[in-house]
Amino acid sequence: MFITLLAATLAIATLTSVLVARFFSKPIASILSRIVAPELAGAWTQFLRFAIYVVGISGGVRIYELEAYVRPAAEQFTPPALTTNRWVLEVYRTIVGSLQATAWMLLVFFVVALIAYVIVTALERRHARPVAPPTPTPPVAP
């Protein structure tokens, strides 16, 4: 039964991560295309998609809690029975854990991207500002 629970939580966390990655792929791509060079934006978008998968799956599949089902009996711990209620709870925890982990990752990304956007915009304005010709000095009367 443990293997089924592990496979189910892995599948649910993967599906949740894929949905989050698809939902945020266009905003991430547009932000990155504005901040970094266009030839780098695609690579960074793929990297962030991969990061969403890793963070979402690791946040959804809580290995430390699943270890309770495979601990040796010598530790005087009886794992909870996998009833229907427990399955519903584990599925809910998997979805919430996956969403929570990806939300934190995306929050950090968007805060860093906002800071980078402000810096890029300030640099563009500085370079776009025309240089004013020097003001002529008025002639001095003798």
Whether 142 maps to a domain, the answer reads no
Whether 135 maps to a domain, the answer reads no
Residue whose C-alpha is closest to residue 11's, from 65, 67, 57: 57
Whether 136 maps to a domain, the answer reads no
Can you give the residue range of the structural domain that contains 50? 2-128
- Domain count across the chain: 1
Rounded alpha-carbon distances, angstroms, from residue 95 to 90, 99, 106, 110, 120: 9, 6, 16, 22, 36
pLDDT reported for residue 102: 96
Whether 139 maps to a domain, the answer reads no
pLDDT reported for residue 133: 67
pLDDT reported for residue 18: 96
Instruction: Provide the whole-model pTM.
Output: 0.77
CB under 8 Å to 142, separation ≥6 — which residues? none
Tens-digit pLDDT string for the chain (142 aa) = 778 888 999 999 999 999 999 999 999 999 999 888 888 998 999 999 999 999 999 999 988 777 777 776 666 666 677 788 888 998 999 999 999 999 999 999 999 999 999 998 888 888 876 666 667 777 777 6
pLDDT reported for residue 142: 66
